């Protein structure tokens, strides 16, 4: 690696993970209402919440006293209805589930409960690299021990080599690439193990559609390879580059790529020469520098061609330099660094498990073992019935345990305890009545062309046409079937299944989308990239767009701030957008210019067959029926959550100075 052609800004004297970028949008997690049942799992506490999903520590119980701690990644309702996102999730979760390696977090289950998709994965008791470095800063630990940095890099190389080399049952390479190797996605456990997490945006060459292969940058910008930053085709060598960035930062204590904005960071990656580790930290081991430089080669042909090669060179360095890499030492380092947190977590786990045991006693796992995951919910504790003797014991344990938590938790805990006490007082004596679910119906769904997505009562199914959807209720209530495919109008049909007529067929020849979008972009010198939903399109006129659905239009160009707007169009409508891009100014946040709706309107929401709690764009509005909700003109996402049933969502276009209406069938 040659001398930099242009000087980089002086390294920021902050450990790598303190400003890793790209993933700091997580909201402060809240444990309100936990623990609670979620399908066959019990959610104990919230671990993190982001823009697309939330993570929970959960416990899985089964017969004969089987218990297992796991992590549930639950997709947020706001994206649970996004067909393209769910398709990508299902594909990538299936790929991730095939991986079983000590240095990769294991995926156990993928399913749907309470109307929400989730992934169940291995619970890793440890901390990610970003958290470790932050804790080091709090405890005034001056630098990351070299032997631990090498141990982490070796663990990463070992896990990546396994994933990159993974083959199908017929020995066909899967071509898996993680694409988001970063401090947030590498965890060191309190027993000294290194694990790569979140293959959730992993890429596989197998059955990957064009939407997922191109269009959006995926991953955290400061750890992208040059080819990934440019939006080009990537392979395993992109993960190797990210590993090299982390090794550089762990061993020098300095950030490698940190511009004033994501755009400036991308320029550093793609256009500048990189500093050598010895230029940042005098006395840096020459043999280790050669490894770092090779992993960071801009040209993929000059980079390590496999994670195995990098692993072999690191092992040679450890052996030649007699670096004392030890799992025992790494364990002691982690436990000493997080001593206080470990004790607190232990106490929280004990309390959470005791409450989970109460929930399990009131609604035994055995009674739900044969039920389908989709849409199965347990009744709230206030409405369950238990025997008089169980009532005395259960209420005493709940109230006694929660009183202890009040003493530990203060005011907020006091409110939570009061709510639980009210639930306990409402328990009615009587025999245990397991939930009754009639789910023996089936609907055969066909479309021309095939390969369309299937929605049942607002929930996206994993199947694509032609397919038979089974385990449907035969209660005589209407079931809405919707069929969607990019470039075609959505098709809807309502079916009623009964015990006598438990099978039905839905078949349609799909009509080409009738909406045309025309875009004018200023300034004329800009070379825009147009994205519709998550797909890159050619030209400034886009036809074949479906009506009645919400779409997202994004216009971007080098040197300008991205412009984005959401819209819904009527059949045969031609929509025109005049887009004026705002020049990017270094030093200012690289925000996205969002088209602001003009005017206001009103929304009425109703429900047939019952009632539900309504939220609009994530904000609660109360139970149905609702009338006269004042909103900005334009599309809004309306969610109806009935008690004990899956949530349903519709997108409604509120007209300016008019009234939008939506109705849910429960």
If we measure between CA atoms, which residue out of 631, 579, 638 comes closest to residue 607?
638
DSSP state of 574: E
E strands, 23-142, are 36-38, 41-49, 53-61, 67-75, 107-113, 116-122, 126-128
Decide if 160 contacts 295 (C-beta within 8 A): no
| Bridge partners (DSSP) listed for residue 450 | none
487: Cβ–Cβ under 8 A, 6 or more apart, which residues?
Answer: 512, 513, 544, 545, 546
| 657 is annotated as an active-site residue | no
- Catalytic-labelled residue, pool 114, 180, 457, 549: 180
State phi, psi for 76 to the nearest 5 degrees: -70, 150
Decide if 183 contacts 129 (C-beta within 8 A): yes
If we measure between CA atoms, which residue out of 197, 196, 195, 188 comes closest to residue 331?
188
Total Cβ atoms within 10 A of residue 491 = 19
* Vertex 417: Cα angle to 411 and 421 (nearest 5): 145
Tokens 């300008």 belong to which residue?
A: 560
Total Cβ atoms within 10 A of residue 6 = 8
Q: Please name the residue ranges forming H helices in 473-514.
A: none
Q: Over the range 452-473, which residues count as b (16 or more CB within 10 Å of their CB) and which as e?
A: bbbbbbbbbbbebbebebeebb
Total Cβ atoms within 10 A of residue 204 = 22
Decide if 99 contacts 48 (C-beta within 8 A): no
Residue 573 to residues 482, 516, 643: CA-CA distances in angstroms? 22, 7, 38
Decide if 306 contacts 313 (C-beta within 8 A): no
If we measure between CA atoms, which residue out of 165, 185, 189, 190 comes closest to residue 175?
165
Phi-psi region of 553 (alpha: psi -120 to 50; beta: other; left: phi over 0): beta
| Bridge partners (DSSP) listed for residue 660 | 603
* Catalytic residue annotation: 180
């Amino acid at each position: 690696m040659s001398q930099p052609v242009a000087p980089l800004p002086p390294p920021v004297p902050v450990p790598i993970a303190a400003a890793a970028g790209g993933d700091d949008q997580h909201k402060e997690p809240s444990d309100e209402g936990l623990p609670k049942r979620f399908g066959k799992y019990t959610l104990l506490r919230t671990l993190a919440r982001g823009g697309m999903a939330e993570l929970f520590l959960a416990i899985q119980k089964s017969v004969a006293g089987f218990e297992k701690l796991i992590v549930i990644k639950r997709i947020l309702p706001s994206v649970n209805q996004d067909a393209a996102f769910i398709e990508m999730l299902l594909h990538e979760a299936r790929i991730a589930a095939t991986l079983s390696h000590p240095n990769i977090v294991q995926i156990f289950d993928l399913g749907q409960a309470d109307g929400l998709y989730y992934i169940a994965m291995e619970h890793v008791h440890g901390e990610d690299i970003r958290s470790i470095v932050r804790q080091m800063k709090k405890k005034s630990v001056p630098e990351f021990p070299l032997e631990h940095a090498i141990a982490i890099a070796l663990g990463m190389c070992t896990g990546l080599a396994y994933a990159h080399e993974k083959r199908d049952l017929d020995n066909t390479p899967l071509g898996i690439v993680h694409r988001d190797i970063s401090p947030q996605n590498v965890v060191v456990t309190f027993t000294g193990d290194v694990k790569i997490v979140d293959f959730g945006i992993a890429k596989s060459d197998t059955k990957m559609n064009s939407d997922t292969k191109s269009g959006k940058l995926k991953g955290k910008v400061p750890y992208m390879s040059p080819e990934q930053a440019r939006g080009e085709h990537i392979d395993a060598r992109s993960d190797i580059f990210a590993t090299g960035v982390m090794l550089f930062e762990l061993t020098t204590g300095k950030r490698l790529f940190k511009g004033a904005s994501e755009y400036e960071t991308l320029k550093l990656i793609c256009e500048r020469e990189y500093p050598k580790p010895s230029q940042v930290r005098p006395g840096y081991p020459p043999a280790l520098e050669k490894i770092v430089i090779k992993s960071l080669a801009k040209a993929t042909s000059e980079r390590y061609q496999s994670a195995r090669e990098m692993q072999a060179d690191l092992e040679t360095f450890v052996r030649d330099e007699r670096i004392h890499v030890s799992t025992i030492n790494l364990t002691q380092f982690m436990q000493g660094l997080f001593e206080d947190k470990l004790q607190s977590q232990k106490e929280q786990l004990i309390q959470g498990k005791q409450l989970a045991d109460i929930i399990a006693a009131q609604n035994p796992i055995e009674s739900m073992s044969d039920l389908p995951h989709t849409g199965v919910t347990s009744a709230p504790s206030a409405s369950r019935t238990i025997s008089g003797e169980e009532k005395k014991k259960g209420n005493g344990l709940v109230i006694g345990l929660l009183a202890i938590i009040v003493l530990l938790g203060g005011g907020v805990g006091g409110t939570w305890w009061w709510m639980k006490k009210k639930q306990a007082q409402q328990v009615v004596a009587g025999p245990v009545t397991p939930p009754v679910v009639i789910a023996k119906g089936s609907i055969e769904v066909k479309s021309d062309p095939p390969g369309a997505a299937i929605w049942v009562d607002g929930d996206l199914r994993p199947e694509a046409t032609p397919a038979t959807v089974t385990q449907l209720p035969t209660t005589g209530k209407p079931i809405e079937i919707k069929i969607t495919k990019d470039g075609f109008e959505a098709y809807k049909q309502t079916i009623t299944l009964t015990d006598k007529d438990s099978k039905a067929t839905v078949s349609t020849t799909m009509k080409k989308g009738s909406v045309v979008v025309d875009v004018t972009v200023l300034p004329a010198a800009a070379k825009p990239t147009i994205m519709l939903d998550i797909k890159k399109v050619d030209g400034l006129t886009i036809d074949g767009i479906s009506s009645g659905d919400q779409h997202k239009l994004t216009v971007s160009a080098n040197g300008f701030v991205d412009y984005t707007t959401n819209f819904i169009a009527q059949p045969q409508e031609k929509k025109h957008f005049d887009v004026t891009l705002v020049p990017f100014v270094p030093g200012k946040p690289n925000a996205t210019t969002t088209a602001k709706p003009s005017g206001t309107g009103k929304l009425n929401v109703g429900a047939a067959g019952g009632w539900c709690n309504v939220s609009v764009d994530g904000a609660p509005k109360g139970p149905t029926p609702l009338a006269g909700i004042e909103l900005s003109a334009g599309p809004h996402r309306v969610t109806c959550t009935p008690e004990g049933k899956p949530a349903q969502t519709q997108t409604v276009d509120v007209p300016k100075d008019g009234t939008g209406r939506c109705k849910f069938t429960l």
